[in-house]
Amino acid sequence: MASKVMTDKQRLGALVRESLGTSEGRNSDQLQANRTTAMRFYRGAPLGDEIEGRSQVISMDVADTTNATLAMLRDMLILDAELVVEPEGDEDEQLARAESDICSDVLLKDNRGERVLLAAFKDGLLLKNGAIKVEMINDELAVMAVPIENISYTAGWPYDFQALPFFAERILYSRSDLVQMGLDRDVVYGLAPYSDFDNSTSQARNVVQKQSNDGASKDQDQIECHSAYILADLDDSGTSKRWAVLVAGSETVLEFEEVQVIPYALGSPWLAPHRLTGESIFDRVAQIQVSNTKFLRQWHDNVALINNGRYVYDPNRVNEADIMAPKAGGGIRARDPSAVVPLVVQDITGGIAAAMQFNNQKRTEAVGAALDMSGAEA
């Protein structure tokens, strides 16, 4: 029997490793790169085309649109939050009402559902999808939002979520956590600690762009794990079953059991037909942010040139220090006023303002709501 269990562990470990290598959402794929860029746009990171001495301001269209939309959702949750289980027939109404009450209590009251939903909504708005997990912790039902960059699944899967061949959440556990979960201490303390944190989207979330996973003591060493749900035919019956597998790294199986469902929910603000991965505000607004950033910089540079103009002058008849270090309201000392000729700078701020207004209208059309419509009524 021990040999069979070991064989199952080895097979599941190999399947998880292979699935992680080809899954959608892994750290090296295009989806993760999109999410990393989305976080950089949200934080107003430099575009990379900045010129020294010129304006380097960043337009915050992605952040403004995301937060305005989230404000509308927050008001909706506060004012109208209610979970309703629809009855399947007249005879099912009483049971449906009871289930509705239980779901509302578990999510909205016991698990601070407003925070859970808003975290998942914000990930969805900015990073294409939001994820929520349900699990038992100390005999209590826990509902929590999961960072979407830690989620990976079968690439290009076009069907029902619960039919996914592979789904995994990347989790960092301390050795102490794993032992408290009932895992063998010798096995846990034989695992290599995880110190090279390379998830680009997670790093992009950090304001200081730094994250440490070094434990102060060995029991607090961080171990990279994957909580995976995979379809596999372990008994060679020709029919796959769903297995929940806890893997250290990408292949060392710590525990596994047969399950019926994947205890997660994924959502997206804009669905992509026949795909789990949706579209985000970043996808729709990124180019507008780039355009508005360029306009803002030109506006600032234009105003700076108008207020601190350039001059053609004869250095023999003008005090050069007054030219090179102008002061607001200050004069230019010259033996002959004609020795100083200002270069005319055209005021283009009006045209820039019109262009940015056009961009803002395009942003509203792309997302479906204007920034000034973030109240509860809207």
- For residue 153, report the phi and psi dihedrals to the nearest 5 degrees: -160, 170
Angle between helices 281-307 and 61-80 (to 10 degrees): 130
pLDDT at 147 over 60: yes
- What would the mean pLDDT of 95-103 be, rounded to a whole number? 83
> Whole-model pTM?
0.83
- What would the mean pLDDT of 342-366 be, rounded to a whole number? 87
pLDDT at 162 over 60: yes
Of 249, 296, 355, 354, the C-alpha closest to 16 is 249
pLDDT of residue 252: 92
Of residues 324 and 79, the one with the higher pLDDT is 324
Of 130, 197, 156, the C-alpha closest to 24 is 156
Q: What residue ranges do the domains of the chain occupy? A: 2-283, 284-373
pLDDT in tens, 243-254: 999 999 878 999
pLDDT of residue 338: 84
Of 175, 198, 199, the C-alpha closest to 188 is 175
Q: If pLDDT is split at 50, 70 and 90, which confidence band does 329 have? A: confident
Percent of the chain with pLDDT over 90: 52
Contact predicate 268/129, CB 8 Å:
yes
pLDDT of residue 378: 44
Average pLDDT, the chain: 87
